[in-house]
Chain A
């Protein structure tokens, strides 16, 4: 997250695309970099507020989770093998998202796009598993209106799933843009920002996994 990023990178990438822009663009570049860094910081502030959003949903879930209203308990409902698989899939996708940034810093457009595709596919398998889990629960009669526990559960876990889904669509759009425009200071910032978003979603999931699932079956 440092403001150093762009500079360090322009040096490190050597024969990267930035230098192809020509020497006369150099003065302009610095101003541009500052703007992109400011945008990255703006996104960081969004992530913090998103953190607070999840905090309120966690607080709601924790307060309501003892109220089953005669419906299923967490212990009866949660199937851990699927959830553990989801956890490791998302964890791996956080890592591959990092590999995409590393490829970008080397100036490797193919590697960057390749790792972003891997990351998006892992995200997609995570969502598929989660939706399958939700559908199964609803078929068992555990809907969002069954109990306060389930209202809190679906709202919290569903909001996280929605974030991941948005991230996948966003990543797909960014992959198309990278394929067309290559690695520029703008697309570079976008990749940095989406990787932050993705790591953030992994962090939120760690707490969902711990507080909702592990503590639920404990």
Chain B
């Protein structure tokens, strides 16, 4: 089992089964976990120490959150290893388009809503 495990971590078993082996490896999960921790600590440090303000802070906060979303998708949910046709990716992109339309659209409309303000 240990032997298999190490070959898995080295990515060798991925090649054996061709592209798209979705079972992941320990190395992948550890990299994902470390990246997530770093991407969580950065915005916490920025906010608690007042390292950035206004737009710069917003960009750092939303940027690290978006990056962490990508890290989870690639390292934990194995989106990269999907076989063609990539239905999972297509559904995700459609979902994100709807989501961003709702969120950005709501903010945009309410910002210029004279009745609300």
Contact = CB atoms under 8 A, between A and B. Distances in A.
A94 B4 contact: no
Contacts of A51: 95-96, 99
A203 B20 contact: no
A-side interface size class: 35 or more
A151 interface: no
A52 interface: yes
- Main secondary structure, interface of B, reads helix
Interface string B11-27: 00100111011111110
A23 B39 CA distance: 48
A11 B22 CA distance: 13
Contacts, number: 158
A101 B24 contact: yes
A147 to B, nearest CB: 15
B-side interface size class: 35 or more
Contact of B106 (A2, A59, A98): A59
Interface in B90-117: 91-92, 94-96, 98-100, 102-103, 105-107, 110
Interface in B19-42: 20-26, 29, 32-33, 36-37, 40
Interface of B: 1, 4-5, 8, 13, 16-18, 20-26, 29, 32-33, 36-37, 40, 43-44, 47-48, 57-58, 61-62, 64-65, 68-69, 72-73, 76-79, 81-83, 87-88, 91-92, 94-96, 98-100, 102-103, 105-107, 110
